[in-house]
Structure 1
Amino acid sequence: MAAKPAPPRPAPRLYLATPVLADPAPLLAVLPRLLAAADIAAVLLRLAPSDPRTLITRTKAVAGVVQAGGAALLLESHADLVARGGADGAHLTGLGEMKEWLPQLQPSRIAGVGGLPTRHDSMMAGEAGADYVLFGEPADDGTRPSSDAIAERLNWWAELFEPPCVVYALSRDEVEEFAAAGADFVLVGDLVWAEPGAEAAVLADAEAALKRGYAAAAEAAPASRG
């Protein structure tokens, strides 16, 4: 009997993190253009501290633009404001925040989890039902694993676990590397905002890198399985 071709994994997509915003107006001025420049699955809204009413108002303003552009809006933390702000979900940090908020967000909202420094933490989040796990984001002190170490964890996760994996990329080269390593989504933030006025071009370049990495992985994958 001939071996069946192995099904290809879905193509990875971009996930855009905003700067930490005290005023969303500058972002709103460019956001529609950015959402049109590349295939962005979701936007992670990072808000500067303020009172709940102000945070809800800012979330609503961004949510309308993001959702009109075909992407989901997630709040970084502030899980208590997701529903009132019209967001699609929250990005939770660490297992403690996950345990508190995941049951309250799901199934109607997305609950992604980062702040998972060990493989065991990642497994705990996956087993708890997180909608995705995030690897590679800088710690509070700015330190971060090497790109090789991040790619190794991606490979491990992609081979063994079902929940989607998001990985944080600091450069176009990392976008390509992580797409090849098995990421379902690649989170870009500082990479995009470091070049004021060129954000759309950077996103388009990141999407091209994503496609190159995915194509390279597809070429390297076994053509069939028993």
Structure 2
Amino acid sequence: MSEPENRCRLVLIVPDIADADEQAKIVGDALKGGDVASIILPQYGLGDGEFQKHAEKIVPLAQNAGAAALLAGDSRVVGRTKADGLHITGGAAEISEAVEKYADKLIVGGGNAADRHHALEIGEERPEYVFFGKLEGDIKPEAHPKNLALAEWWASMIEIPCIVMGGTDPASALAVAESGAEFVAMRLAVFGEPARAALVVAEINALLDEKAPRFEG
């Protein structure tokens, strides 16, 4: 099997599940399916205390599976749960502040880049990655064409890696890979039927192993 690092890799967006144990079980199952570069856990309107309870269960699960655990929410919870990084859903100003504050300690990335201009503004702040799409933007089977076009443009000229939000169909991962993006984010495609999550992760990895373009070492 090829080394996963030389092609587009999977990022899992943890679904909104009120019960922390149930959420953790579903994520743990998915991680058994194969290579996952990182997971992003959004706060989903939870209070900081509740969010921390969820993160305390999910962060070690991800890390034990070799995936980076990124939190999209209160930055103090990142420190308290020893998560690997902070995913910022706002624009360049918010990313700038987080990079300045945490860049030596945490992975900081994200952004809400809906066009080239905003993507470049975010890129100037030197985040670890730029995210094209919204964390809950998987509303159609395929990835949003605008995000694919942005990723193709970005990957062809900018060194900073990008993550592109995929669609609800696991096969949408391939279109993201073909854009040149380093990472594809999946939420409902993997977690829509929780019992099949590990199987879907395995299927996506097999698809990317077989058909995704390879990066130059």
Is the shorter-chain TM-score for this pair beyond 0.5, marking a shared fold? yes
Q: For structure 1, which runs of at least 5 residues remain unmatched after alignment?
A: 1-8
Matched, 1:74 2:70: yes
Q: For structure 2, which runs of at least 5 residues remain unmatched after alignment?
A: none
Corresponding residue to 2:33 among 29, 37, 45: 37
Give the Cα–Cα distance (whole angstroms) in 2 for the partners of residues 21 and 102 of structure 1. Answer: 29
Larger radius of gyration: 1
SS in 1 for 2:131: strand
Q: Does 2:45 align with 1:53?
A: no
Q: Secondary structure at the match of 2:203?
A: helix
Change (3 A) 1:151 1:31: closer
Q: How large is the RMSD of aligned CA atoms in angstroms?
A: 2.5
Whichever residue aligns with residue 182 of structure 2, its letter is: D
Please identify which structure carries the higher strand content.
1
1:21–1:48 CA contact under 8 A, matched in 2: no
Please give the alpha-carbon distance, in whole angstroms, between the structure 2 residues aligned to 1:124 and 1:130: 11
Which amino acid is the alignment partner of residue 149 of structure 1?
A: K
Cα deviations across residues 60-101 of structure 1 (Å, max 9, x unaligned)? 221111111111111113223211121111110122321332
- 1:20 Cα deviation from its structure 2 partner: 1.8
Match of 1:116 in 2: 113
Correspondence 1:136-147 to 2 at 5 A: 136-137=133-134, 147=144
- 1:165 and 1:135 map into 2 onto residues whose CA distance is 7
Corresponding residue for 1:90?
86
Please list the CA deviations of residues 149-208 of structure 1 after superposition, one character each: whole Å capped at 9, or x if unmatched.
332222211110001010110122321111111010110001111123111111111222
Task: Provide closer, same or farther for how the CA distance between residues 34 and 103 of structure 1 changes in structure 2, counting only shifts above 3 A.
Answer: same
Paired residues of 2:43 and 2:73 also in contact (CA < 8 A): no
Q: Is the 8 A contact 2:13 2:135 kept in 1?
A: no
Q: Distance in 1 between matches of 2:207 and 2:134?
A: 19
Whether 1:165 and 2:162 are equivalent positions in the alignment is: yes
In structure 1, distance between residues paired with 2:33 and 2:201:
7
Distance in 2 separating the partners of 1:139 and 1:23: 19
Contact 1:177–1:213, Cα closer than 8 Å, also in 2: no
TM-score (normalizing by structure 2): 0.85
C-alpha distance in 1 between matches for 2:49 and 2:143 = 40
Q: For 1:1-23, what per-residue CA distance to the aligned partner results, in whole angstroms no more than 9, with x for missing partners?
A: xxxxxxxx931110001112332
Q: Which residue of 2 aligns with 1:28?
A: 24
Alpha carbons of structure 1 residues 51 and 148: separation in structure 2 relative to 1, 3 Å: closer
Aligned length: 208
Shift of 1:146: 6.7
